[in-house]
Every structure is written in structure tokens, then in C-alpha cells.
Amino acid sequence: MVLFFFKTYIKIYNLSMPELPEVESIRRYIEKNILNRRILDIKLINKKSLRNSSEIELNNVVGQSFTNINRIAKHLILHTQDYYFIMHLRMEGKFIFFDTLQDAMNKTKSLHHILIIQTENKVLLFVDTRKFATIDFFKKDVSYSANPVLMKIGKEPFDLTGKELYVWLTSKRTNIKTALLDQSFISGLGNIYVDEVLFKSKIDPRRITNSITIEESNNIIKFSISILRKSIEMKGSSIRTYSPNDSETGGYQKYLNVYGRQGEECLICGNIIKKIKVAGRGTHICENCQK
């Protein structure tokens, strides 16, 4: 019974790739648990995940407290008085909170630990089964605009106009799917939401960017915003913050039109949804609706 439950959980969990709505949900979850709490200890477990800093520098945050928890696109930013962490969950990174360190260690033996932060009320575990997650650590005298990680991130769909997108797209000759996954211009969309946005916009993901019209660019922005907003409201797709004490489940997967629905009927026209490859990425499409 326990094994069955575990296997079921893993299956759902693997669908989850934190994109903007999932990261926003996690941001709120972290805020709820550690905002204004003092850091008592910090321990880096996976040394390779730390970039732009040394392990020794990390210890400087001990005694400081979390003053702000921000999000930029898919990046989480944890501020203290004098430092900030930029964390990226990649595909399977997650945060789990426990009341005690002993409890945390006992209940997460099978997980790969990235970082452990003890605060005065909670123990924060940053874990990632695939060890892809990254941590960048900076002193506050490195501003956002000069930050080597953040300066590479483009605008979120909320801050872009269809015209701006159109100008960029017409200057390129790649396919629209690859373009929308390029975080350096439009950030926050990942594989799930790009497929959903292109379905709503009735655009074939294989289309070359300079064939996209201004009307289609407007639709891409419009639907990116509405889909991301709705997903944030539903706390993202599938499970993205697992905790034995406080598990939270996203509800947006109920609204997915094409992602993960290969072999099923299109909800608009009844055509069978296909899963194809576009630039090496699994891509879901209704070839009748998307031209």
C-alpha cells in the first residue's frame, strides 16, 4: 500500500516542471514559512549547485534574517539584510519545510539534498532528485541590473507588448516554439505553457518566427498572460511543493488543452492530439486547430 502510494506520487511529480506559475506558488509557500526569520545555520550539501560564490561566503548569512522573497521569471530570490540567493529549480528542485532538523533528516533520506538552512522556526530543505537545481549567492552590492544571472533574463509576458514580440520574432529565423522557450527575450514560459499558448493562439509550433503576424504576436502575449494568471490562481500544474507535513497540489492540469493529452481528442474540434518533436523538445499539437 505504501509502495503503491509512493509510485503514484512519483508519477504525478514527474509531470511537474516548475515554470512561472509553479515558482510563484513556491515563492508564496517560502514566504509563509521563513519571512523575517533569523538564519541559525546553513549547510551546502551539493557543492556543484553553488555558482558565483564560495561555500565559505555562504556562512556570512548566519545571523541575518530573510527580509524578502522575490521571483523573477523562474528564479526565486531570497533576500537577507546584506545578501541574496538566486535559486533555480530546473526540473525537479523543491523546497520542503520541517519543524526540526531531525525530522527533516529522517523523512528525506531518499532525496538528494542541495542545501539546508535552519531558521529560528523552520528548517528549509532545498532538494533535487536530479541535482540540476542551482544556487547563486551574492552580496547586495551586486545590483539586479549588474547581476550576471539576472541580466540575462528577458521580460515576463506581463511586461511585453505584442508589437515588441513581433519585432523580435521577425528578426529571427527559428521556429516559434524554440523562440518562446528562449528565456533571454521572453521569460517564464516552459514546455507546458508554450504548448498551451500556441494552441490557444492557433499557431503550429513548427512555424518559422518571421512568418508570425502582428495579430498572432498580440495573441501570444494575450494568451500567455491569461494562461499564466489562471495557473497562478490554481497554484500551478500538478504537485510542485511536496512536504509530508504540508503538501500542496496545483490544479491547473485540469485546464490543459494539449500538454500531456497526446492520443486524446482535441477539446475544440475532436481531432486527435499528437506529440511531435520540435527542436528536440516534446511538443503537443492539434494539427487541425494549429496552422
Partner DNA sequence: AGAATCTCTCGGCCGC
Partner DNA sequence: TGCGGCCGAGAGATTC
Binding flags for DNA, 37-66, as an x/- string (CB under 7 A):
-----------x------------------
Taking the CB of residue 48, how many other CB atoms lie within 10 A of it? 9
Among 26, 149, 165, 203, binds DNA (CB under 7 A): 149
Interface region with DNA, contact rule CB under 7 A, candidates 9-17, 60-68, 199-207, 228-236 = 9-17
Interface region with DNA, contact rule CB under 7 A, candidates 98-106, 116-124, 169-177, 247-255 = 169-177
Among 32, 43, 130, 139, binds DNA (CB under 7 A): 130
Closest to 237 (Cα-Cα) out of 249, 253, 257, 223? 253
Binding flags for DNA, 259-278, as an x/- string (CB under 7 A):
------------------x-
Alpha-carbon span 87 to 84, nearest angstrom:
10
SS3 category, 283: strand
Catalytic residue among 19, 22, 92, 196: 19
Q: Let me know: does 196 contact 19? Beta carbons within 8 Å.
A: no
206 lies in the binding site for DNA (CB under 7 A): no
Active site residue 244: no
Please give the radius of gyration of the chain, using alpha carbons only, rounded to the nearest integer: 20
Q: Which of residues 100 and 272 has its CB atom nearest to DNA in the complex?
A: 272
70 lies in the binding site for DNA (CB under 7 A): no
Q: Which of residues 39 and 166 has its CB atom nearest to DNA in the complex?
A: 166
CA 67 to chain centre: 22
Q: Which of residues 7 and 291 has its CB atom nearest to DNA in the complex?
A: 7
Alpha-carbon span 214 to 128, nearest angstrom:
40
Interface region with DNA, contact rule CB under 7 A, candidates 36-44, 84-92, 230-238, 239-247 = 84-92
Active site residue 148: no
SS3 for 60-110, per residue? HHCCCECCEEEEECCEEEEECCCEEEEEECCCCCEEEEECCHHHHHHHCCC
Active site residue 107: no
Alpha-carbon span 15 to 236, nearest angstrom:
12
Left, alpha or beta for 133 (phi > 0: left; psi -120 to 50: alpha)?
A: beta
Is residue 21 within a helix (H) or strand (E), and if so which, with residue range?
helix 20-34
Active site residue 281: yes
Beta carbon of residue 65, minimum distance to DNA (angstroms, whole number): 28
Among 191, 243, 249, 262, binds DNA (CB under 7 A): 191
Burial readout 140-164 (b: 16 or more C-beta within 10 A, e: otherwise): eebeeeebebbeebbebbeebebee
SS3 category, 200: helix
Q: Let me know: does 32 contact 106? Beta carbons within 8 Å.
A: no
Q: Which of residues 39 and 180 has its CB atom nearest to DNA in the complex?
A: 180
Interface region with DNA, contact rule CB under 7 A, candidates 35-43, 115-123, 175-183, 221-229 = 175-183
Among 54, 68, 174, 213, binds DNA (CB under 7 A): 174
Residue ranges in contact with DNA by CB under 7 A = 7, 10-11, 14, 17, 48, 73-74, 88, 90-91, 112, 129-132, 149, 152, 172-174, 178, 181, 183, 190-191, 277, 279-282
Q: Which positions are annotated as active-site residues?
A: 18-19, 74, 281
